[in-house]
Amino acid sequence: MLSKSKVCLFFEYKKFNLRNRACLKLFIEAIFKREKKSLPSINYIFCSDKRLLEINKHFLNLNYYTDIITFDLSDPDYIFAEIYISIDRVKDNAKIFNTSFKSELHRVIFHGVLHLCGYKDKSKPEKEKMRAKEDFYLTNYY
């Protein structure tokens, strides 16, 4: 019997298709294991810039575009998270950072996982540590 993944993928962005979903889900689970964190139930929602801007305004009172918003909705009895990713922003960032869309998308996906594992990115040292972890997992994923 196959065990059910705790990682679910939802697509509000109709022009987007994610390949190798099963491998990606297993790798996300492996990140939690390597970071010695319990794996929450995660819903990834891939959406547009417009949708993520609405979420940013409504829930965070911020009025700018972003590539990812991670909501840790856990309580002591139930671990759950929602990660919203703007496909539009990931595409633009891939061009800006001169990388492939696939690589930038995986970086953002892993970035959300790392937030749930306790990594922060507010200060310069935190950002550097987060980027090093993203790079580590990207290298190990490919």
Task: Give pLDDT tens digits for 42-61.
Answer: 999 999 999 999 999 999 99
Instruction: Check if the beta carbon of residue 130 is closer than 8 Å to that of residue 120.
Output: yes
Evaluate whether 126 touches 87 at the Cβ level (below 8 Å).
Answer: no
Q: In whole angstroms, what is the distance from residue 9 CA to residue 18 CA? A: 9
Q: How confident is the model at residue 133 (pLDDT cuts 50, 70, 90)?
A: very high
Say how far apart CA 59 and CA 133 lie, in whole Å.
27
Look at residue 62 in the predicted model and tell me its pLDDT: 93
In the chain, the percentage of residues whose pLDDT exceeds 90 is 78
Q: What is the pLDDT of residue 3?
A: 58
Identify the residue with better confidence: 142 or 31. 31
User: What pTM does this model have?
Assistant: 0.91
Query: Position of tokens 């919203």?
Result: 84
pLDDT given for residue 1 in this prediction: 44
Q: What percent of the chain has pLDDT over 70?
A: 95
Q: Tokens for 66?
A: 């972003």
Task: Give the Cα separation of 38 and 82 in Å (integer).
Answer: 16
Superfamily of domain 7-141: Metalloproteases ("zincins"), catalytic domain (3.40.390.30)
Q: Round to whole Å and give the CA distance between 125 and 119.
A: 11
